[in-house]
Amino acid sequence: MGAPLVIDARIRDLIRIKEISGAALAPGRARLYVQADVLALIRGSNPLSAQIAYVADVPLDARGKVPKLKKQRVLLFARPVAGKSGEVQLTGIDSAFTWTPELDALTRRITRDLVASNAPPAITGIGNAFHVPGALPGEGETQIFLKTGNAAPISLQILRRPGEQTRWAVSLGDIVDESAGAPKRDTLLWFRLACGLPKELPADALSAESPENAAAARQDYQLVLRDLGPCA
């Protein structure tokens, strides 16, 4: 998300930089000056040369040697260098990945999600939550309204029915859409929820609820967190 440039490239040549300048070099890594041919610009609006150069800190192999990277196809997450269309700067120490079809497809899908007009925003907290018991024992519905970075509405709905598996859905917008279902893993919406939701419902989100309804809402919220899985 923090990479203005996402580049599919093939390494043409590399030179180990002996005299280290700039950020400290972590143990077990080597600093390289890399030249690469651009195969595709997956994300970016800045002009980019057909051949680019960048500096990368790469882990050494088991023998303490620089791995053979020449001709390797890579996915680069980078930012442009002002006034130099032939240079980029990686956004982090681990921002160059060996290309695979699966990683390429995942990267392109998330990039499309990020630039979409209806991209799910960052989750900043919980607004309020309430639980409504049903007419039958074990029946009920919990609704949880989320706070977001751009104030766009997002809500969670958890439905319990006797004899049925509890199911939940996430709605983007003012209209609650129980048919939307839970987000698929490794989508931008999944990431926003898995990495943005707090570990438990805050007490002030349930201040208007009875102890019994608050306990049911907390239980339903934990089900959502379990289904999402860890932020990884």
The answer to whether 143 touches 216, Cβ cutoff 8 Å, is no
pLDDT in tens, 91-124: 988 899 999 999 999 999 999 999 888 899 999 9
Average pLDDT over residues 127-139: 90
Whether the predicted pLDDT of 20 surpasses 80: no
Q: Please, what are the domains in the chain?
A: 5-115 (2.40.50), 123-228 (no CATH)
Q: Which amino acid is at 108?
A: R
Window from 114-128, 136-150, 162-176, 182-196 with minimum mean pLDDT: 162-176
H or E element in which residue 228 lies: helix 211-228
pLDDT in tens, 50-106: 999 999 999 999 898 999 999 999 999 999 999 898 999 999 888 999 999 999 999
Whether the predicted pLDDT of 146 surpasses 90: yes
pTM over 0.75: yes
Which residues does 48 contact at the CB level (< 8 Å), separation at least 6? Answer: 5, 7, 38, 41, 80, 85, 88
Average pLDDT over residues 129-147: 92
